[in-house]
């Protein structure tokens, strides 16, 4: 999604979206599913794992840009450097936005769970996404694209991207319930197998 985010495409009513926008809501929904089943501690670990993987990608991108080119590969140098140098900025933006947005998502999701218990997963998930996606979008777009696009275009992308990600989160809600169902079934099967093995 970091590299795909380089492409800005036209959207409705003269607005714009990043081509990577369809991927990001999945991450927040997956975090909510993990948190719902395994608790706050595991959800935070899930976020940390994503943070570390993105940080490693950034580190490797820096190294790949720094190492010298062989003469046989010079034909790709300009395009490679253009893509990955810009993608590096987007990756850093993604890292910061991901950390802030995801940890806020976990915090807000479990705040609602404290208030409402295990009821209304769809509401807890989408309300926590509403706030966390707002932070994620503002941070990401500012760090990644400030100075690249005119301010008017950037603000248009921010607003459109935030609204779109929130709406996509709502659309993906059935997938979240499907994930919850499948994981619970798997946990139930594992528990059954463990009981059978204990009785042998």
199: in domain: no
If you ran DSSP here, which 8-state letter would residue 119 be given? S
- Count up the domains in the chain and report the number: 1
- 27-44 average pLDDT score: 91
173: in domain: yes
pLDDT value at 86 more than 70: no
Q: What are 91's two structure tokens?
A: 């990756």
pLDDT digits (tens, 9 = 90+) for 45-57: 999 998 998 888 8
Q: Given CA atoms 29, 36, 125, 103 in this order, what sign does their dihedral have?
A: negative
Domain that holds residue 66: 4-189
pLDDT value at 40 more than 90: yes
pTM for this prediction: 0.79
166: in domain: yes
68: in domain: yes
pLDDT digits (tens, 9 = 90+) for 151-165: 888 888 788 888 888
200: in domain: no
126: in domain: yes
88: in domain: yes
pLDDT value at 112 more than 90: yes
Residue 66 burial by Cβ neighbours in a 10 Å radius (0-12, 13-18, 19+): exposed
194: in domain: no
């Amino acid at each position: 999604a970091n590299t795909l985010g380089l492409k800005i495409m036209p959207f409705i009513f003269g607005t714009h979206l990043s081509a990577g926008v369809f991927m990001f809501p999945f991450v927040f929904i997956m975090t909510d599913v993990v948190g719902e089943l395994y608790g706050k501690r595991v959800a935070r670990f899930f976020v940390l794992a994503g943070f570390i993987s993105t940080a490693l990608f950034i580190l490797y991108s820096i190294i790949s840009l720094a190492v010298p080119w062989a003469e046989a590969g010079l034909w790709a140098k300009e395009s490679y450097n253009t893509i990955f140098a810009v993608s590096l900025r987007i990756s850093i933006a993604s890292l910061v936005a991901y950390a802030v947005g995801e940890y806020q998502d976990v915090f807000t999701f479990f705040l609602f769970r404290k208030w409402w218990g295990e009821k209304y997963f769809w509401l807890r998930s989408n309300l926590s996404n509403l706030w966390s996606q707002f932070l994620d979008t503002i941070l990401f777009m500012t760090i990644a694209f400030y100075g690249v696009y005119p301010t008017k275009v950037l603000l248009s992308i921010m607003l459109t991207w935030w609204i779109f990600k929130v709406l996509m989160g709502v659309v993906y809600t059935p997938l979240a319930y499907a994930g919850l169902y499948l994981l619970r079934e798997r946990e139930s099967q594992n528990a059954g197998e463990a009981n059978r093995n204990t009785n042998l």
